[in-house]
Amino acid sequence: MTKSIVLVAVMGVAWLGCSARADVATEESALLEADRAFARAVADSGANGWTAYFASDGVMFRPGGTVIGSDSIRAMATAWFADDTFSLTWGPTHAEVSPEGTLGYTYGRYQSSGTDSAGNPTISTGSYLTVWRKQPDGSWKVAADIGSPDR
């Protein structure tokens, strides 16, 4: 009888462990699409699109320092998009998701353009890494974002 109880308990724990694992390939596809949707939202809505995809405690790593939280991220994005010549585009080339399907990251290439203080056109390209956290409603939100400009 004791062996049966132990066997049932072990099988239950094994089943729970398996059920807690996500379909990683499906989640990676979903994460790539979330990143693409993020880029479309920014193209359509500027600062509002940018801010909408960040978690409330999201972090941006920028040359001038770390920007933390929705209010600070919104303020930075609003300043970027106040310049009507500014644009930011990107595309993910890879995604990975944790076995549990709760954390993931994407990376790819970006391009920003605008004008400098003298009114000259500028273009900057580089690579980015975005860390995503799955939300209780199943959506993905940006937990951390960092861009690295090309030389």
Per residue in 23-36, pLDDT (tens digit) is 999 999 999 999 99
C-alpha torsion angle, residues 97, 102, 108, 111 (rounded to 10): 170
- Separation between Cα atoms, residue 83 and residue 122, nearest integer Å: 13
- Separation between Cα atoms, residue 5 and residue 64, nearest integer Å: 60
Query: For a pLDDT cut of 70, what percent of the chain falls above it?
Result: 87
Residue 83 token pair: 């310049």
Q: Is the pLDDT score of 125 beyond 90?
A: yes
- Separation between Cα atoms, residue 43 and residue 49, nearest integer Å: 8
Rg of the Cα atoms in the chain: 20
7-21, 54-68, 83-97, 132-146: segment of lowest average pLDDT: 7-21
For the segment 61-80, the average pLDDT, to the nearest whole number, is 95
